[in-house]
Structure 1
Amino acid sequence: MTRTLVITGAASGIGKATAERCRAKGHKVIGVDIHDADIVADLSTPAGREAMIAMVAELAPGGIDGVLTSAGSANFDKPGMVLATNYFGTVDVIAGLRPQMRAPGARCVAVASTALLAASDETLDLEDLCLAGDEEAAVARAEKGGFLQAYPGAKRALSKWARQTTVKPEWAAQGVTINTVAPGVVKTPMVEGALADPRQAATIREKSPKATKDYAEASDAAELMEFLLNCETDQIVGQVIFLDSGSEAITRPNL
């Protein structure tokens, strides 16, 4: 059966690979990005998110069957924007599209990162602001703490939000699930360039050890995303699935 899917960050990386895989399987994909997409929108702003949600309704008047939020930012110099994009640019999109999701059967997949494991007690207040929906205060806190708090804090807050939200009556009980995928090192062009530099490669291998022969390709991530977006089972609920070549298992063997 053909499904209608919304994929943010669809112009590059994991989002692009997943969009291509879903289209190849016959599904309709509405791609969202800041350029080269069906919907061009800046998800770091509330206005951009609202416009995007309205445009989805125009392009899919019959409703949608899944959402993948792959849009994100890792701009070291703009921690506030990183927080706004990576947290609010996901949760506001998923929550805002809920009325358009066909139930039962709709599936939501939020892209986090293994960086969530680097979040600490220092980011708990930032995460609490995110979960309270106070974007202005959360962005200000991110600017104060800098990228090294904003990025992992946003990703851990996102995983918490997904777990807390999907078990509410209007979600999983209605057959609409939310899960999170936490990629580790994925060999995008940017990462390939870093791995080609001996010093950068050594740092990556130290911080992200692997059990597999090589790190993941975008196509590896796309295979998992496509499954989660289109699986019939409604029994995968609120999970954080690490796609990281074994890094999390190596660093947390006993959880």
Structure 2
Amino acid sequence: MQQTAVITGAASGIGAATAERFLVKGINVIGVDLTPAFREDDKLGWVQGDVSKTETWTQVSEELTKREWDADILVTSAAYLAVGNVLDLTDEQWANTINVNQLGLVKAVRCVLPQMIERKHGAIVTVGSIDSYMAEQGLIAYCTSKGGILQFTRSLALDHARDGIRVNCVCPGVTDTPLFRHHLSTASDPESFLKTREQRNPIGRLLKPEEIANTIAFLASDEASGITGAQIVADGGLTTGFDFRTGEEGA
């Protein structure tokens, strides 16, 4: 049966890598992002818009109907990151963080869930972070939003397990994406910051978006049919413990 995936944040980073992974597998993709599609493909539909806006999801529904596609998979990788402590960040930065990272997730689920319930089949993969359960200095808003994603994932999984819908969260470590490069650019010494992040990871490097996409593809597949309400950490061992080779605590 031909499958269709809706992917937020699909223009770059983990979202784009996931879209490419699904397209290679022959899965139709509806990408949702603020920027245009990364390429043209008969199996790639696109909605350019803000994931926190209702009109964006109206357009997604219309695109699915126009193409006569049913949403089998949802991947929510759109994210917003503001650097600063609780006193530094403005109300607008807090609102942007919550709107994209949490409200955008809720609206995405509301868009595709009725179809999944009707067909008694579906897989939802939310994209959290190691910051979903670990704090990181200067990322209080981001950490707060990502922590909420874990509880949303668990609750959604419980609510709809008997509807045939699986819901899981992948929690990436430090991944070489535009979002991380934005974070890197705010450091007083970006080169030193990058080197530190690489050295603190037991595998000695940043993760690649394609590695996270592979994890997402597994969770979305029937091979993960027994997994729901779970958090899969893909961080190169960063949160495993103390790495004596570098003398640095992993985090």
| TM-score interval, normalised by the smaller of the two chains | 0.7 to 0.9
Task: Give 1:219 deviation, angstroms.
Answer: 0.9
Instruction: For residue 214 of structure 1, give the secondary structure of its aligned residue in structure 2.
Output: coil
Relative to 1, partners in 2 of residues 1:189 and 1:155: Cα closer, same or farther, differing over 3 Å?
closer
Gaps of 5+ in 1: 121-146
2: distance between equivalents of 1:59 and 1:215? Answer: 40
2: distance between equivalents of 1:249 and 1:29? Answer: 34
**Counterpart AA for 2:70:** G
1: distance between equivalents of 2:224 and 2:119? Answer: 13
**Does structure 1 residue 93 correspond to structure 2 residue 108?**
yes
TM-superposition CA deviations, 1:210-238 (whole Å, max 9, x none): 22242211111111111212224431011
- Which residue matches 2:99? 84
Instruction: For residue 241 of structure 2, give the secondary structure of its aligned residue in structure 1.
Output: helix
Following TM superposition, the consecutive aligned residue runs of length 4 or more in structure 1 with deviations greater than 6 angstroms are: none
The within-5 A match list for 1:55-70 is 55-70=62-77
- Which residue matches 1:51? 58
Relative to 1, partners in 2 of residues 1:192 and 1:174: Cα closer, same or farther, differing over 3 Å?
same
**Contact 2:15 2:77 (8 Å CA) reproduced:** yes
Identical amino acids, percent of aligned pairs: 29
Relative to 1, partners in 2 of residues 1:75 and 1:192: Cα closer, same or farther, differing over 3 Å?
closer
Match of 1:243 among 215, 234, 241: 234
TM-superposition CA deviations, 1:163-217 (whole Å, max 9, x none): 012111xx211211110011111122564694994321255357xx322242211
- Which residue matches 1:204? 197
Gaps of 5+ in 2: 38-45, 84-88, 243-248
**Counterpart AA for 2:128:** A
- Count of residue pairs brought into register by the alignment: 221
| RMSD between aligned residues | 2.7
2: distance between equivalents of 1:223 and 1:43? Answer: 23
The within-5 A match list for 1:92-111 is 92-101=107-116, 103-111=119-127
Instruction: For residue 95 of structure 1, give the secondary structure of its aligned residue in structure 2.
Output: helix
Task: Give 1:119 deviation, angstroms.
Answer: 4.8
2: distance between equivalents of 1:197 and 1:149? Answer: 20
Match of 1:150 among 110, 133, 141: 141
**Contact 1:49 1:89 (8 Å CA) reproduced:** no
**Does structure 1 residue 41 correspond to structure 2 residue 52?**
no
**Counterpart AA for 2:169:** T
**Contact 1:105 1:232 (8 Å CA) reproduced:** no
- Which residue matches 1:114? 130
- Which residue matches 2:32? 32
**Contact 1:5 1:27 (8 Å CA) reproduced:** yes
2: distance between equivalents of 1:185 and 1:115? Answer: 10
Higher normalized helix content (fraction of residues) = 1
2: distance between equivalents of 1:189 and 1:148? Answer: 16
TM-superposition CA deviations, 1:87-134 (whole Å, max 9, x none): 1111221133101226343110001111122359xxxxxxxxxxxxxx
TM-superposition CA deviations, 1:38-73 (whole Å, max 9, x none): 11110133x345434433442454521100011111
